[in-house]
Amino acid sequence: MAFKTRAPVFVALLASTLFGITACSDGDSNNNNDDVIARNACEFPTDAGGVVVGSGNPGDPSLPEPSSGYRTGKKVVTARSYMVVTANPLATKAGCDVLKDGGSAADAAVAVQMVLGLVEPQSSGIGGGAFLMHYDAKTKKVQAYDGRETAPAAATENYLRYVGDTAASGAVLPNARSSGRAIGTPGAVRMLELVHKDHGSKRWVGLFDPAIKIATDGFRISGRMADAISDATDNLKRDAEAAAYFLNADGSPRALGSTIKNPDYASSLQLIAQNGADALHTGALAQAIVAKIGITGSANNGGPITPGLTTLADLANYQPKRRDAVCSTYRTSYTVCGMPPPSSGGIAVAQILGILENYNLAPLAPTAIDLEGGKPTVQGVHLVSEAERLAYADRNLYVADTDFVPLPGNGISSLLDKNYLKQRASLISLTSSLGTAQPGTFATTRSLGIGAPIAENGTSHVSIVDRDGNAVAMTTTVESSLGSYHFTRGFILNNQLTDFSSAPVDATGLPVANRVQPLKRPRSSMAPTLVLRNNASDAARPDLLMATGSPGGSTIIQFVAKTVVGVLDWGLNAQQATSMVNFGSANGPTTNVGGEHPNVNVANSGNDDPLVAGLRAIGHTVSTASQSSGVSTIVRGTLSSQTALQGGADPRREGVVLGDTYQPAAGAVFTLFNGN
């Protein structure tokens, strides 16, 4: 599989401006080829030369502009040996500098997360959780890391519904989202500490320096952060610390482009840098978290808030987990690895691909391929969406925290069994939609009910490859935008427990797998994904091919599946697959076709668009609502007989790609890595 690689040009947050690349050498770009024009690693190229991200100089991609639905013109970025893709330029820069200095992918992930928690608190932070997939280039092994939040030990199955355990005790007020009941015990920092102990090479303490400096010196509020503050103004007023940080003295939201400093966050990071994750889970920071979860509010700031029941013991006792990755082959040549439960993402993506490998997707590739990924075909979207309906049907019924609720049959192996998925694939018609698919049946020991749909937001994804070939795919979250609106010591606390089903049983009285239970982890849709190229001479040692993932709530699974199919089946480059029209279904009659994309015509309710009209003609109920993905993709391949990396950052967010990047010669062909 090969495709032309266009000269990589980053797109600043000034959407219509494209910048050239200046010939220069930093001694770090492996510039020993005549076919490249190198530039200083980890700098953003402009016509005037490399610009340091965060410098404030013309062309700096961290210069804020209003957030928008889609920025056209992003081109694929090529690097020699290392690369970082995040949803924020300052975070990408922090991670890239770690790699440039010889750090590992695990080191860079720590630095990136600490900056993200500052510059996009609406999406992730140290008060939230994360899932991380790691590829070790020496052992060629994939390890999954679980930093998902947990319910407190005192939680009951009715924790999100009633103040006590019955209706007689009164309802949770004002609602679970913005009460202490929503806040799970954070896990991101302890998870990153575990990853760093396993795979880090730099000292932990130094990885916090970029975020501490930015928090101390200040940064300019981006479009997405400004929108989040504006949308949440009334809720932020319920928390005095949140109001003081995010709002002006008159109660108005801090505006786009205004400079904001966060000395409290800097102090919190200094404690964690010096004392490890225990500084967050014990001592003064833990006491501040528990106190904030327990606030009740007052009539002066919006009325009462139901306190949560988290204790210092919950914080102190939290432990991240190493878990076995969910890995399955795809079309013989590839192995796709994702997160196991409590995330549903790994199983769902594997099921979708396992169903799709029964069809030849190559002839169904998008047409009119352009920088934005072209125009998806009706049959291509139909098949992928139908496979997703079937996968979501199983997800919605069966998948939860398997430390509490076992999967059906023999577990993951039954859900990913090739014969089972072939049978599921046989349910797909080429001429009509399933509408609402039914879950598969297994010899299971218990009957389960399906909980109500859960809205999920407020997430970010990071993809990293270091110079040794180690890789990280990390999806990190505070759940909804600005989490629970509870703010302490410079950071937002998550509202992750709202990912549980609030009702413990369905209408027929059957227990819901994803109900609240003490110390349980809520089901997630996060799907950090690593794709490996199977090695014909050594099946146990597959080679890294791709790292990807996205925010987007329950639609994360669709965004990731689209991107993987785009690269592996349709030959799109990393940016095209990332940018391509978002489409898919979470089961039910509705099929999403992201109307934010310039290649979708949303006029006349989409009826004038051939993709939308074609899907409707075969029974799909099509929604053209905007899809706020945030895909970050790195693809490994060969270019001019040397290993190279391609990167793509989602044009629907503010991210950029940085690394030891260079411009290939005109006409150079990038080919997916084919193994050692």
Give catalytic residue positions: 459
Rounded to an integer, what distance in angstroms lies between the CA atom of residue 468 and that of residue 250?
A: 52
Contact status, residue 648 vs residue 657, Cβ threshold 8 Å: yes
Q: What is the distance between the alpha carbons of residues 80 and 183, in angstroms, rounded to a whole number?
A: 42
Whether the bond between 174 and the residue before it is cis, its omega within 30 degrees of 0, is: yes
**Which tokens hold the place of 27?**
């001694």
Instruction: List own/partner pairs for 28-31 with CB under 8 A and 24 or more apart.
Output: 28/100, 28/660, 29/80, 29/660, 29/661, 29/662, 30/80, 30/81, 30/642, 30/660, 31/80, 31/662
Cα separation, 162 vs 173, in Å, equals 9
**Alpha carbon 584 to chain centroid distance?**
17
Supply the DSSP string of 289-339, one letter for each residue: HHHHHT--EEGGGTEE-PPP---HHHHHH---EEE--EEEEETTTEEEEE-
Contact 619, 432 (CB under 8 A): yes
Dihedral sign computed on CA atoms, order 233, 285, 320, 151: negative
CA distance 165 to 174: 17
CA distance 577 to 76: 10
Residue 419, SS3 per DSSP = helix
Neighbouring CB atoms inside 10 A of 168's CB total 8
Question: How many helices (H) and strands (E) would you count in the chain?
Answer: 18, 27
Residue 107 C-beta-side C-alpha neighbours within 13 Å? 23
Q: What's the per-residue H, E or C state across 258-270?
A: CEECCHHHHHHHH
Distances from the Cα of 439 to the Cα of 436, 583, 655, angstroms:
10, 21, 37
Separation between Cα atoms, residue 573 and residue 569, nearest integer Å: 11
